[in-house]
Amino acid sequence: MRAIFYLVVLLVGLSKELMAFEMIGSDGPTPFAPIPAPRKVTIPLQETISSYSVLEGTDKLAYIDSNLKLRVYDFNSGEEQQYGGFINELFPVSGAGGKTVLSSDLKKVVRVVGKNKGQEIGLPGSSQFLLWDKNDLYLLKKLEKLNGEAWRISYFIYNQDKNQIRHNACDFYPANNPKNLRIGEGHLVPNLLLYSEKHMDRDTELTIYTLNLKARNGKCQIEAQSREPEYFKGNVTSVNWAFEGREVVVFTDHETTNLYFGTPGAFSIGILPVGRSYIPNTKSSVVININRQKGVGVYSLLTGRYFTLDLSVDRGFLEGNQIWVDSEGEQLFISTRERRDKWGGRALHTVSLKGLNR
């Protein structure tokens, strides 16, 4: 017996009584007034869901069913199309125009819109997703320290229209000869966000860099975003660019000071509930916070507004990699596994975020 996957549309209106998120120096975050309990509209799809990818700009959803088949559902027509077997789960970010979906292990793509629908393309080995830039998919092969002060980044670019792969690498020399370098998120071609960290008692010293991938003679330029390192309470969990690279967002695991955003040397400080905080779609300004006791919180970097989703599911079954926000920051998708479903089926919820960033 198989559980049926239901698309659960949460028709949520944001309360007019919502209050702004408080900053350091206050009593902490003040959530919005409780939002009304959502009404559910169930649309039965075939089989059960394993993972999904929202196809930007198409009003379609790609998902993997319990038989590891790839399906694409059209919200407008209510119809869906089945493709071949797909062993891996889907990576949440789709290609431009929703033409292509990527496997979670970054080893293959499948065309689901336009010409050559259903075509599966194998990719070289990759260790990290970097970004989609129009029709180009950037994937990291390796970031390594060479002899002396030199570092090297190796990556490849897959073009979904031409079905071509280009391999690239360049060497660079960051200031202060850092012992470690990590790759952030929210990159904008040709620039990548890199950072180095040094743990100091209960704080973390962070130096943030911009790496320009436009290479000359095998060399690319890297520049520190501030003359002096930045200091953050707790351990840094992620570093992101936001607002098209104009600001940096840093999350830490500190209990009372765990959100920093702005420009190096001029960060604003905020408080989110203890748990995992991250930006699912770096093209939007929406932050997700997952707390086992409080559930899923949604925070706007634009307005400072914060609210908690009212989901009738066991909070122990919430998974961060099943949450997505569209690029406009107006709609949230969350897939939850319900305890009563012993077959592991998921329900996919959508939440309207209109008004959150206004």
Cis before 229? omega within 30: no
Q: What is the pLDDT of residues 112-132, one digit of tens each?
A: 877 778 888 999 988 899 999
Q: Look at the alpha carbons of 6, 311, 332, 239 in this order and tell me if their dihedral is positive or negative.
A: negative
pLDDT reported for residue 354: 78
What are the backbone dihedrals phi and psi of residue 317, each rounded to the nearest 5 degrees, phi first? Answer: -105, 10
Q: What is the pLDDT of residues 330-346, one digit of tens each?
A: 888 887 765 555 545 67
Asked if 69 and 63 touch (Cβ cutoff 8 Å), the reply is no
Q: Could you tell me which residue, 343 or 6, shows the higher pLDDT? A: 343
Query: How remote is the C-alpha of 11 from its chain's centroid?
Result: 23
Q: Could you tell me which residue, 299 or 26, shows the higher pLDDT? A: 299
Query: How remote is the C-alpha of 190 from its chain's centroid?
Result: 20
Query: If you average pLDDT over every residue of the chain, what do you get?
Result: 81
Give the closest residue to 232 by CA, choosing from 259, 208, 212: 259
Provide the greatest CA pair distance for the chain: 62
Look at 18-22, 43-47, 51-55, 124-128 and tell me which has the smallest mean pLDDT. 18-22
Q: How confident is the model at residue 39 (pLDDT cuts 50, 70, 90)?
A: very low
Look at 50-59, 276-285, 342-351 and tell me which has the smallest mean pLDDT. 342-351
> What is d(CA 28, CA 20) in angstroms, rounded to the nearest whole number?
11
Residues composing the chain = 358
> What is d(CA 309, CA 116) in angstroms, rounded to the nearest whole number?
39
Give the closest residue to 285 by CA, choosing from 318, 311, 259, 254: 259
Q: Is the pLDDT of residue 263 over 80?
A: yes
For the segment 155-180, the average pLDDT, to the nearest whole number, is 94
Q: How confident is the model at residue 318 (pLDDT cuts 50, 70, 90)?
A: low
Asked if 29 and 271 touch (Cβ cutoff 8 Å), the reply is yes
Q: Is the pLDDT of residue 247 over 80?
A: yes
pLDDT reported for residue 18: 31
Beta bridge partners of 19: none
Q: Could you tell me which residue, 5 or 148, shows the higher pLDDT? A: 148
Q: What is the pLDDT of residues 196-222, one digit of tens each?
A: 999 988 899 999 999 999 999 999 999
pLDDT reported for residue 16: 30
Q: How confident is the model at residue 288 (pLDDT cuts 50, 70, 90)?
A: very high
pLDDT reported for residue 100: 93
> What is d(CA 165, CA 114) in angstroms, rounded to the nearest whole number?
20
pTM score: 0.84
